[in-house]
């Protein structure tokens, strides 16, 4: 699998991914526009989960383009990219099961969010985070779950309202798995580290 890392570290690939993630982030905030207009100011930072995750990765890529590392942002990126990437894939499949169909936007969201999760993990050998960076990212992520499922600021999927307790339970454990993924790929056993060329 190591053959892929020189490709991932190529500046042209980094710049292309940077542009794709900027576009995806802008679209994501647009997608949340209606909900954000109804969100109390105190919760605004915690509502647009997926675009904020991709925004973290935009800053990771920007740092890479300048041959730098911002470890706290890297920790936030890998945890939230994996969590919200997988979460959106599962929710859209659940919409398909409940409704019996999915429009083109749903399929686009499945593909784009799965790619979010994958890119966060693929770039893990380039990250330089330490345990405290991951702890900070874990606090952010679990706090976000509280905002979503205690204060009911979760993304609007009205057709899934009857499943909110189960979705909240699933989301909490997905957060734990995402933190574990980040630990495994970035902290455990001093894994090999790569440099951006």
pLDDT (tens, 9 = 90+) of the chain, 197 residues, equals 678 989 999 999 999 999 999 999 999 999 999 999 999 999 999 999 999 999 999 999 999 999 999 999 999 999 999 999 999 999 999 999 999 999 999 999 999 999 999 999 999 999 999 999 999 999 999 999 999 999 999 887 778 889 999 999 999 999 999 999 999 999 985 556 777 77
Report how far residue 48's alpha carbon sits from residue 28's, in angstroms, rounded to the nearest whole number.
8
Q: What is the CA radius of gyration of the chain?
A: 17
User: Does residue 140 contact residue 83 with C-beta atoms inside 8 Å?
Assistant: no
All structural domains of the chain with their residue ranges: 2-190
Going 20 to 22 to 28 to 30, the CA torsion angle's sign is negative
């Amino acid at each position: 699998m190591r053959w892929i890392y020189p490709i991932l570290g190529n500046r042209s690939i980094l710049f292309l991914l940077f542009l794709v993630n900027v576009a995806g982030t802008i679209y994501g905030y647009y997608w949340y526009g209606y909900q954000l207009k109804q969100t109390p100011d105190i919760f605004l930072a915690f509502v647009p989960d997926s675009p904020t995750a991709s925004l973290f990765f935009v800053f990771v890529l920007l740092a890479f383009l300048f041959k730098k590392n911002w470890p706290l942002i890297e920790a936030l990126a890998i945890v939230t990219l994996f969590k919200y990437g997988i979460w959106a894939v599962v929710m859209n499949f659940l919409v398909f099961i409940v409704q019996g169909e999915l429009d083109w936007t749903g399929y686009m969201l499945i593909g784009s969010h799965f790619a979010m999760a994958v890119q966060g993990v693929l770039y893990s050998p380039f990250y330089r985070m330490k345990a405290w960076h991951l702890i900070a990212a874990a606090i952010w992520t679990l706090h976000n779950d509280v905002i979503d499922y205690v204060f009911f600021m979760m993304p609007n999927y009205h057709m899934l309202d009857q499943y909110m307790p189960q979705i909240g339970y699933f989301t909490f454990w997905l957060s734990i798995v995402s933190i574990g993924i980040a630990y495994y790929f970035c902290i455990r056993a001093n894994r090999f580290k790569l440099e951006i060329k």
